[in-house]
A and B are shown apart, each in its own frame.
Chain A
Amino acid sequence: MLRIPCPHCGERDYTEFRYGGDAGRTRPAHGSQSVRAWHDHVFLFANPKGAHREYWQHVHGCRQWLVLERDTATGSVGRASLARPPGVP
């Protein structure tokens, strides 16, 4: 079972979370007219075999979005931190 160390709630089963995908992608600027940039953002995935930083939302817990470090080749889990640190709007 994939277990995610939530900074608020402690280590929990992944079934309490909703997966949010690759956290390494940056959204094109608001109002960006580049179809290519939007296409790449929405449809292309790095999908690495190895280290991966990814979003999870703790929907059945603190409801916060987290960034988890996970290795997609071995399944081992690293640190989880808040996607939006306290104090940042």
Chain B
Amino acid sequence: MKLLSRYSAFGLARRALTGARWQRAWRAASPRGSYDVVVVGGGGHGLATAYYLAARHGIRSVAVLERGYLGSGNVGRNTTIVRSNYLLPGNTEFFEHSLKLWEGLSHELNFNVMLSQRGQLVLAHNPVQLDVLARKGNTMRLNGIDAELMQRADVERFLPFLDYSRECRFPIYGGLLQRRAGTARHDAVAWGYARAADRLGVDIIENCEVTGFLRAGERITGVETTRGRIGAGRTAVSVAGHSSHVMSLLGMRLPVESHLLQAFVTEPIKPFLDCVISFGAELFYVSQSDKGGMVFGGHIDGFNSYTQRGQFPKVQTVAECAVALIPSMSRLRLLRHWAGIQDMTPDGSPLIGRTPFRDLYLNGGWCYQGFKATPAAGWCLAHTIATEQEHPLIRHLALDRFERGNGSDEYGLGLRTWVQ
């Protein structure tokens, strides 16, 4: 097994001059009979878990099983925003840990994830919203996280092209800016983790669907797959929108419904928007990609579905939000839009940690926030698997929190948005 060389400026120049071919970024591994840890799901979270198991905990007998190809799920379908402006205890620390990992990720992985800390501005459209943002900003600053409260005049200087007119439906009162927030190249995150994990000996097995679990009583000892039976000391399920589907193989129901979440890209235009904006009057978030397209998204469509096909009314809603916020976007044409399968929980927070089965771990239910959580989710799950001790940062996200009445409702953005 020949491990791959590191990427470097020298290597780039050498290949440019000699025309030498690039190696594959990761081996096309075939499944072995058993591993210390099997991670089900080759998305960002699964690959990050495998990488941190190998890199931080020295567990290198690890397989990542992916049903399709790497990056074919939500990690390749999101609006690429990373930030750590959270209010609730537990969430604040978790997402800040994630953002700190993002800041060092390109160096750690030897792969450019194109993190762009262009800042994220959350807008307030009434005085109460601004008070809430002030409280959130204070919470962040008390936790050592950067946050700047902006009044209307500050926002107007910062982003002069928003709608500040008298006729505006949702007048802007101010906002909360996190300058360290921004965007990252979503595919590169999957590829970077895959490549780095592969260099440490992790087997990444694509086109391998899990069809069942191997059990010895209440202990999980491996998985049945379309490429044969694979034994596992420990198994982690990290399959986002298919969490319910995979766990139903064990007869288990989860506090999760799979919904459609759409994202949109317009035709490319010249550099125009140099930060991420979150509208405060509806769920709407927008940034401009490096290619120039305006990238934006909104709420889930509102009923459970695995089709990955979005419904038209949501296209209309987000377009209305875009124009209400940035009138000059009205003449842009949508280039494409797509839907991901979003694993929604009742309180809008994820489920990560142990399951009722021994040696089986679950990571899912990330709702709108899976991408930004990728490094920390992998970090904390790897810690939990390797040490059998729940990582302190994910204690509030345990699977049994609803039984204990400990829901963690940061936004009121769970699976029934209209009843919260």
A binding-site residues for B, Cβ under 8 Å: 1-2, 13-15, 18-19, 21, 35-36, 39-40, 42-49, 52, 54, 72-75
The reply on B144 being an interface residue by CB < 8 A is no
Q: Is the CB of B402 within 8 A of A39?
A: yes
* Stretch with Cβ within 8 A of A (4 or more), from B287-295, B307-315, B382-390: B307-315
Chain B 295-317: CB-based contact to A (< 8 A → 1; otherwise 0): 00000001111110101110000
Q: Is the CB of A43 within 8 A of B302?
A: no
Q: A56's closest neighbor in chain B, by CB? A: B303
Q: Is the CB of B309 within 8 A of A45?
A: no
Q: Is the CB of A35 within 8 A of B303?
A: no
Q: Is the CB of A1 within 8 A of B256?
A: no
The reply on B93 being an interface residue by CB < 8 A is no
Question: A15 to chain B: which residues have CB within 8 Å?
Answer: 313
| A14 to B418 alpha-carbon distance, docked (Å) | 16
| A74 to B306 alpha-carbon distance, docked (Å) | 8
Out of A1, A42, A45, which one reaches B254, CB within 8 Å? A45
Q: How far is the CB of B417 from chain A (nearest CB, A)?
A: 11
Q: Is the CB of B403 within 8 A of A39?
A: yes
Given A1-B312, A49-B245, A43–B307 Cβ distance below 8 Å?
A: no
Question: B403 to chain A: which residues have CB within 8 Å?
Answer: 35-36, 39
Question: B212 to chain A: which residues have CB within 8 Å?
Answer: none
Q: Is the CB of A47 within 8 A of B309?
A: no
Q: A40's closest neighbor in chain B, by CB? A: B253
Most chain B CB within a 10 A radius of its CB, from A39, A49, A52, A74: A49
Q: A44's closest neighbor in chain B, by CB? A: B253
Q: Is the CB of A47 within 8 A of B304?
A: yes
| A13 to B403 alpha-carbon distance, docked (Å) | 37
Size category of the B interface is 20 to 34
The reply on B119 being an interface residue by CB < 8 A is no
Q: Is the CB of A54 within 8 A of B303?
A: yes
| A48 to B305 alpha-carbon distance, docked (Å) | 9
Chain B 312-325: CB-based contact to A (< 8 A → 1; otherwise 0): 11000000000000
Q: Is the CB of B248 within 8 A of A45?
A: no
Chain B 387-417: CB-based contact to A (< 8 A → 1; otherwise 0): 0000000000000001100000000000010
Q: Is the CB of B307 within 8 A of A75?
A: yes
The reply on B242 being an interface residue by CB < 8 A is yes
Q: Offer 6 A-B interface pairs, CB within 8 angstroms, sorted by A.
A: A36-B403, A40-B253, A45-B255, A45-B256, A47-B257, A72-B306
The 10 closest A-B pairs by CB, nearest first: A47-B244, A44-B253, A75-B307, A43-B402, A43-B255, A19-B303, A49-B306, A49-B245, A45-B257, A15-B313
- B211-261 residues with Cβ-Cβ distance < 8 A to A are 242, 244-245, 248, 253-258
The reply on B378 being an interface residue by CB < 8 A is no
Q: Is the CB of A2 within 8 A of B253?
A: no
Most chain B CB within a 10 A radius of its CB, from A21, A44, A45, A75: A45
Q: How far is the CB of A40 from chain B (nearest CB, A)?
A: 7
Question: B311 to chain A: which residues have CB within 8 Å?
Answer: 1-2, 14
- B167-197 residues with Cβ-Cβ distance < 8 A to A are none
Q: Is the CB of B346 within 8 A of A43?
A: yes
Out of A13, A19, A46, which one reaches B302, CB within 8 Å? A19
Q: Is the CB of A47 within 8 A of B307?
A: no
Given A39-B402, A49-B242, A44–B254 Cβ distance below 8 Å?
A: yes
Q: How far is the CB of A84 from chain B (nearest CB, A)?
A: 21
Q: Is the CB of A72 within 8 A of B309?
A: no
| A14 to B305 alpha-carbon distance, docked (Å) | 14
Question: B346 to chain A: which residues have CB within 8 Å?
Answer: 42-43
Given A1-B312, A15-B313, A72–B253 Cβ distance below 8 Å?
A: no
List 18 other contacts, CB 8 Å, given A45-B304, A49-B242.
Answer: A2-B303, A2-B311, A14-B311, A19-B302, A19-B303, A36-B403, A43-B346, A43-B402, A46-B253, A47-B257, A48-B244, A48-B245, A48-B248, A72-B258, A72-B304, A72-B306, A72-B307, A74-B307
